[in-house]
Each structure stands twice: as structure tokens, then as C-alpha cells.
């Protein structure tokens, strides 16, 4: 693994763990049951307890696991966890306007597009 990739991964993990410790995010590692391999990672982050909201994001799925339904399944589980376990009343999903694959996946979940940030 390239040193810069390793350093960026380390920073990504440390940031996620710090946010979890601060109780402003929950982190999931996605495991492909069939192969036992790590397929990706995702978070329910930017949790605002005062506003009872959070945001799903920081998601990545390895290329070999894309198109298998993992994204939809994990998003459903995070929504269920956020609403039923944490008692949030709003969970946002954001994607860069250029990321058509993510935007389409969000709409497939039944989410409502509210606008485009510029």
C-alpha cells in the first residue's frame, strides 16, 4: 500500500474514532458475508442531539462489491438504527452533484431530493 494512501487511511480512521468518542457519529464496517472480506465502511455522522438529526455519509464500497445491494441494505440498517434506536427525527443523505451513482442510489432508497448545494 502506498505510504500516502496508508497515511490518509490512518487519518480517516482516527477522525472517525474521535467523532465516535465525542458521540457525534456511529461507524460501521461492511463485511461481505459470502467472502468474509471487508467490503466497505459507512457512518451516521454529524449527529446533533439537540436537533435530533444526523447524516449518512463517508461511505465507500470496494469495486468488487458494488452492485450487489450492499449499499441499499446498509443504508436501510442505518436509517433503522438512527430512527428506532437513537430516536432521531431527521437523517440526511448528501452527495456531490457530480456523483450521479450516489445520487441515483439515494433516490432508490425513497429519499426526497431537497436541493443542490453550490
pLDDT tens string 87-105: 999 999 988 889 888 888 8
CA distance 30 to 16: 15
Domain ranges of the chain: 3-108
Q: What is the pTM assigned to this prediction?
A: 0.84
Q: Are 67 and 49 within 8 A, CB to CB? A: no
Assigned superfamily of 3-108: Gcn5-related N-acetyltransferase (GNAT) (3.40.630.30)
Q: Are 71 and 95 within 8 A, CB to CB? A: no
Q: For the residues 62-89, what does the mean pLDDT come to?
A: 93
| pLDDT confidence tier of residue 3, bands split at 50, 70 and 90 | confident
Give the three cell numbers for residue 18: 474521535
Pinpoint the alpha helices (H) of 1-118: 3-21, 70-80, 100-108
Amino acid at each position: 500500500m502506498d505510504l500516502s494512501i496508508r497515511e490518509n487511511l490512518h487519518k480517516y480512521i482516527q477522525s472517525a474514532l474521535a467523532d465516535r468518542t465525542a458521540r457525534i457519529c456511529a461507524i460501521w464496517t461492511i463485511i461481505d458475508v459470502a467472502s468474509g472480506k471487508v467490503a466497505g465502511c459507512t457512518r451516521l455522522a454529524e449527529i446533533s442531539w439537540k436537533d435530533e438529526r444526523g447524516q449518512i455519509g463517508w461511505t465507500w464500497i470496494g469495486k468488487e462489491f458494488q452492485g450487489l445491494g450492499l449499499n441499499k441494505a446498509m443504508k436501510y440498517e442505518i436509517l433503522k438504527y438512527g430512527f428506532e434506536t437513537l430516536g432521531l427525527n431527521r437523517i440526511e443523505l448528501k452527495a456531490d452533484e457530480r456523483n450521479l451513482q450516489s445520487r441515483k442510489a439515494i433516490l432508490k432508497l425513497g429519499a426526497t431530493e431537497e436541493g443542490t448545494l453550490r
